[in-house]
Structure 1
Amino acid sequence: MKTDLKLNVLSVGNTSTGSRSLPSQFAEPIRPDLVKRAVEAIQGNTRQQHGSKKEAGQRHSAKLSRRRRDYKTSYGHGISRVPRKILTKRGTHFSWVGAVAPGCVGGRRAHPPKPIKIWAKKINDTERRKAIRSALAATLVKTLVAQRGHHVPPQYPFLLENKFEAIAKTRDVIEALEKLGFNDELNRSSEKILHAGRARRRGRGTRRKKGPLFVVSNTCSLIHAVQNIPGVDVVPVHQLNVSLLAPGAHIGRLTLFTEGAIERLEKEKLFMQEYKNLHPPVPPAPQSPASHSKLQNPSNTQKQSQPTQQKTQQPSALQPQKKVSPTKAPSTKSKPASQMTLTQLTK
């Protein structure tokens, strides 16, 4: 199924080579809420569980008594009821320092992160595919792409010819993007942004902004040629996800599709309800002629049916046998006259 929307196909030299209509995946209504749910599911599934040690901050013996006239008591000293550890003592005089409590030096945290927390999130396949289609539709809206911060050329959106997939050098990719009008976009994604605070000490002191995304039909040389360009990503069309189309759950990433990617998207009906599995189950192995003949002539393999004989249950030695009383013969003793009827008396 195709839509009424048509895009121009541009060559490596920024010349139009024709136009092509887009499949129905790009006609999906834009749903930022679904896109956000799908991105949060991806981020949650890739997050590692972490937490502090259970005994951290509680390794001191800081037990005190609160009763008067008791040994090692804090009653009457005019101090708070915080757990305290003993530094020095002399008789009944103690030198205490607060411990264990969250407000003390070296104490535990009030609500530390738990390693048993489950970060993974689930999302229905139907909802996930709908979110991908919604993110695909948002890549064609020029205003949304510009609001996200991209420097969009005037002819956007457009498609790329399949020759882009054959580019093998990074220098050639940069030259092609500059001819298409992405000079400002490449400069924007190449800048480093410094983080403030402790992030610099933890290996995440800098970040870059996301640049263009290339969507190709399959694994090609363009994937390796783009690896050294900061902010630019390449992905085969069947491996698309919401995190690439909408980084940080912000829809409208600048995306460039090749003709082969659009053809595969339409032919295989990717991310649709009637999407078919690319790896169907393996069919059973074909049977040999001998087994086939046995199936046709079951009399050769099966025994002829014999009449079944009813088995009489033998009495068990543990169970006592019941005595069967013999059948009584009909008595010939005559009844008394008082019990005989009138017809019997007249005979």
Structure 2
Amino acid sequence: MKATILKLDGTKGKSIDIPLVFSEEIRPDLIRRAFHAVTSRRYQPKGADPMAGFRTTAASWGTGGGMSRIPRTKAGPKRKGRSAKGRRYRSKGRWFPAAGRGAIIPGTVGGRQAHPPKSCKILIKKINTKELDKAMRSAIASTAVPELVKGRGHSIGDITLPLVVDDTFMSLEKTKVVKETLSAIGLSAELERTSKRSIRAGIGKLRGRKYRTKTGPLLVVPSSEEKQPILKAARNVPGVTAVSVNELDMDMLAPGSHAGRLTIWTESAIKDLQRRFE
């Protein structure tokens, strides 16, 4: 299987052989499992206070009074008998005396939660190493299938996949030049698609993530000790993620467990990929 290298001006260059990893069988089920296993490592345990709902003066009135034996709150200091109202609470526009109000048990108004979240819950999902490796190879192979890439919503036009660019692409130092180069190789419609932001629906807009940006191309460069200039230049392009071959994971190749992300490989990254999955 061969791929044609594109130059910075969009013209076609020489053809190279691509690794056999691009011929791997595509397994959406494995990709989904691997994605959830990788992303679950970022989960943080959470749980309710063990004493939540128990910090009250409520106690059962016992039997013989013709009332249920649920714990009921007390009126308060220096308040006795039928006139003991103590604190009051508001429900459906009306005020009710808090004395005698049910508490502690889950079935009462203001009682404790029946099944609160527990910090001892196991959040991390496991996956076998061989299955994770096969899922990675399958996710890489899906980047060369036009039907899957278009199915994710990417605008690629008539671009031939896998998309491989010349190594001079790694020397770009300006974000403006990166946008112009991506437009020259035929991704102007993709950049226009990812440049639009939408306001998140829900309470998340109040928690530091008000805007949503669509996922754009993934730019892969070879692994080296020195940082490539393109990694910093492409950082401000909306939707674009620039990483090295060693940094590839399921969250980048298949965001949301959906395979087929539009991926731009450099010529050296293809060779590095062959050494990693040989």
d(CA) in 1 for partners of 2:154 and 2:262? 7
- The partner residue of 2:38 within 37, 42, 45 is 42
Residue 110 to residue 241, structure 1, CA distance change in 2 (3 Å)? same
Aligned match for 1:207, one of 203, 209, 212? 212
CA 1:202–1:105: 2 relative to 1, 3 Å: farther
Instruction: State the AA in 1 paired with 2:112.
Output: R
Task: Establish whether residue 98 from structure 1 lines up as the match of residue 102 from structure 2.
Answer: yes
Q: Contact 2:2–2:17 (CA<8 Å) still a contact in 1?
A: yes
TM-score (ref. length: structure 2): 0.87
Alignment partner, residue 251 of structure 1: 259
Asked if the contact 1:216–1:258 (Cα under 8 Å) also holds between the matched residues in 2, the reply is yes
1:93 positional shift: 7.0
Are residue 132 (structure 1) and residue 140 (structure 2) matched?
Answer: no
1:271, distance to aligned residue in structure 2 (A): 3.7
Where does structure 2 lack aligned partners over 5 or more consecutive residues?
Answer: 85-98
Task: Determine what percentage of the aligned residue pairs are the same residue.
Answer: 41
Partner Cα separation in structure 2 for residue 135 and residue 21 of structure 1: 19
Asked if structure 2 preserves the Cα contact closer than 8 Å seen for 1:153 and 1:180, the reply is no
Are residues 204 and 98 of structure 1, via their aligned partners in 2, closer, same or farther at CA, if it must alter by over 3 Å?
farther
The one of 238, 250, 256 aligned to 1:242: 250
- Determine whether 1:111 maps to 2:115: yes
Distance 2:244 2:69 in 1: 64
One of 27, 32, 50 as aligned partner of 1:31: 27
Mapping for residues 181-200 of structure 1, pairs under 5 Å: 181-200=186-205
* 2:71 is aligned with 1:83: yes
Unaligned runs of 5+ in 1: 69-74, 273-347
For residue 99 of structure 1, report the CA deviation from its aligned partner.
1.9
Q: Check whether the contact 1:141–1:252 (CA below 8 A) recurs between aligned residues.
A: yes
CA contact (8 A) 1:132 1:271 kept: no
Query: Matched residues in 1 for 2:105 and 2:138: separation?
Result: 50
Aligned-residue offset at 1:191: 2.1
| Structure number, greater radius of gyration | 1
Residue 149 in structure 1 maps to residue 191 in structure 2:
no
Q: Return closer, same or farther for 1:57/1:164 CA change in 2, 3 Å cut-off.
A: same
Pick which of 53-62 and 132-141 moved more: 53-62
Q: Does 1:15 align with 2:11?
A: yes
| TM-score, reference length from structure 1 | 0.70
Matched-pair contact (CA < 8 Å) for 2:171–2:229: yes
Q: Distance in 2 between matches of 1:167 and 1:36?
A: 35
2:2 alignment partner, one of 6, 24, 42: 6
In the alignment, is residue 226 of structure 1 matched against residue 234 of structure 2?
yes
Q: What amino acid sits opposite 1:203 in the alignment?
A: G
Amino acid at match of 2:37: A
| 8 Å CA contact 1:84, 1:97 repeated in 2 | yes
Match of 1:172 in 2: 177
Structure 2 residue aligned with 1:55: 51
Note the C-alpha offset of 1:231. 0.9
Q: Which whole-Å CA distance do the structure 1 matches of 2:39 and 2:50 have between them?
A: 26
Q: CA deviation at 1:223?
A: 0.3
1:35-81 Cα distance to aligned partner (Å, 9 max, x none):
1111111111111111121111221122113311xxxxxx325xx55
Question: What is the one-letter code of the residue matched to 2:256?
Answer: G
- TM-fit CA distance, 1:90: 2.1
Residue among 206, 209, 222 paired with 1:217 = 222
Partner of 2:271: 263
Distance verdict in 2 for CA 1:232–1:96, change over 3 Å: same
Change in Cα spacing, 1:53 to 1:181, as seen in structure 2 (3 Å) is same
Q: Distance in 2 between matches of 1:20 and 1:237?
A: 18
CA RMSD of aligned residues (A): 1.8
